[in-house]
Amino acid sequence: MPEPVIPRPEKLPVGVAGLGLMGTSITACLLAAGHPVTAIELKAERRATARRRLSALLTEMSREGLFRGSVKGALDRFQASGDVARLEGTGLVIEAIYENLEQKRELLESIEAIVGPKAPIGCNTSAIPISLLQQSARNPKRILGIHWAEPAHTTRFLEVICGKETSPALARRVVAQARYWGKEPTLVRRDIRGFITNRCFYALLREALYLVEQGYATVADVDRSLRNDLGYWITFAGPFRFLDLTGIPAYDAVATDLFPELSNAKEVPAPLRRLAKAGAKGVANSRGFYKYSHGQAERWEKLFLEFSYRIRALAQDYPEDVGDRPQRRPKRKPRS
Ligand SMILES: NC(=O)c1ccc[n+]([C@@H]2O[C@H](COP(=O)([O-])OP(=O)(O)OC[C@H]3O[C@@H](n4cnc5c(N)ncnc54)[C@H](O)[C@@H]3O)[C@@H](O)[C@H]2O)c1
């Protein structure tokens, strides 16, 4: 199928709804790609601080070689408002408001009333089926999932999800557009709750919580095992490539015995429920599966960001497919 023709980012004004954690990093990514961006945010304080927060992200992207333009020039292409009517004239809208079906539906209704009938409207939901968001839409064909991973200005992940009614041609256009954003997008052809990565991650999370809850291992031991096994190869190869690399028959034999014994609990396991009920938010409020001093929590956040730039660079040296001949890899200076 021929690649769809898509506009250069400078020619495609984008609307973003919500300037929280994700809306801000999504906006930074879009500005770095060259789009003019209009953001809608209900909270005045978040609108007032948006330029400062975006400036910090864009400066960091420049330092890491992900953005080559001027930070001021990028910010000149940005405006924030509390009024959804300001999205008029945008050719693509991405919503990143709370994970709440009713609130997202209500917002989609008001966006549809403002933007042109052909403009795609992408929902950055973690797990709400896109078909449910389409149910009350005027033109459900142009509604699709555009699922980013935080920090959205550095990660190469993007899932483009077709709901029951989404136009496949429109979804392919968004996939092509996303290459300008530095992404390696995937297309989810049929809508399913949680899409790809969240379905797989939550299956792993349930099993990890089960092992802890049943006393087989501590939180730290589960973390250490997964970091040093899964963590060693998952950026290099997905599970199917990994099976090809390490031999298939053994996995068939192990799965025969192991699958019936894996947790298939329907309830949220107690260790997670207890923490959530007690108000633990992880490093955000220094309370989680581990204890943190304020300084430690800040340091974890910084290290996570630093790591995400480094792993991005490493992954790009090892593309998801290889030709018949060895490729010359750019030499990287090891960091001190
Ligand atoms: N945080 C993550 O790592 C992550 C990853 C992938 C997907 N998501 C999804 O992205 C969405 C946003 O998550 P977040 O973590 O950025 O949330 P957040 O709470 O940080 O931000 C949401 C923002 O939306 C604003 N808002 C709410 N209703 C609005 C409206 N009608 N119009 C304009 N602004 C409105 C809020 O004021 C807030 O600033 C959620 O659906 C979440 O599930 C989050």
Residue ranges of the domains in the chain? 9-188, 200-317
CA angle 55, 23, 26 (to 5 degrees): 70
Sequence-distant (≥ 6) Cβ neighbours of residue 266 within 8 angstroms: none
Number of residues assigned to the chain: 336
Q: Whose CA is nearest to atom 38 of ligand 1?
A: 20
Cα 20 to Cα 39, 46, 88, 104, distances in angstroms: 11, 7, 22, 15
Looking at the predicted structure, is the pLDDT value of residue 171 above 90? yes
Average confidence (pLDDT) over 13-37: 98
User: Rounded distance, CA 83 to CA 204, Å?
Assistant: 41
Which among 19, 22, 110 is the best mutation to test ligand 1's pocket, defined by most ligand atoms within 8 Å of the CB?
22
User: Rounded distance, CA 173 to CA 203, Å?
Assistant: 31
Looking at the predicted structure, is the pLDDT value of residue 334 above 70? no
Cα 13 to Cα 38, 170, 322, distances in angstroms: 8, 17, 35
Mean pLDDT of the chain: 95
Looking at the predicted structure, is the pLDDT value of residue 305 above 60? yes
pLDDT of residue 103: 97
User: Rounded distance, CA 27 to CA 14, Å?
Assistant: 9
Cα distance from N-terminal residue to C-terminal residue, the chain: 46
Contact 28, 55 (CB under 8 A): no
Looking at the predicted structure, is the pLDDT value of residue 327 above 70? no
Looking at the predicted structure, is the pLDDT value of residue 42 above 70? yes
Average confidence (pLDDT) over 49-60: 98
Provide DSSP, 15-32.
Answer: EEE--SHHHHHHHHHHHH
Which among 126, 132, 153 is the best mutation to test ligand 1's pocket, defined by most ligand atoms within 8 Å of the CB?
126
Looking at the predicted structure, is the pLDDT value of residue 104 above 50? yes
Q: Whose CA is nearest to atom 15 of ligand 1?
A: 21
User: Rounded distance, CA 143 to CA 108, Å?
Assistant: 9
The secondary structure element, H or E, covering residue 239 is helix 239-246
pLDDT in tens, 68-86: 999 999 999 999 999 999 9
Contact 90, 106 (CB under 8 A): no
Contact 92, 122 (CB under 8 A): yes
Average confidence (pLDDT) over 133-139: 94
Confidence grade of residue 1 (pLDDT, cut at 50, 70, 90): confident
Q: Whose CA is nearest to atom 21 of ligand 1?
A: 20
Top pLDDT among 166 and 136 is at 166
Provide DSSP, 82-113.
Answer: S-GGGGTT-SEEEE---S-HHHHHHHHHHHHH
Look up residue 252 and give its two tokens: 């068939």
pLDDT in tens, 247-256: 999 999 999 9
> 252: CA distance to ligand 1 center in Å?
41
What's 9-188's CATH class? alpha beta
pLDDT of residue 336: 45
pLDDT of residue 322: 85
Sequence-distant (≥ 6) Cβ neighbours of residue 333 within 8 angstroms: none
Contact 187, 172 (CB under 8 A): yes
What's 200-317's CATH class? mainly alpha
| pTM beyond 0.75 | yes
Name beta bridge partners: 186: 159
Average confidence (pLDDT) over 219-241: 97
Q: Which of 77-86, 285-294, 320-329 has the lowest mean pLDDT?
A: 320-329
pLDDT of residue 325: 74
Looking at the predicted structure, is the pLDDT value of residue 335 above 60? no
- Measured from CB, residues less than 6 Å from any atom of ligand 1 are 17-23, 40-43, 46, 96-99, 103, 107, 124-126, 148, 150
The DSSP output letter for 318 is: S
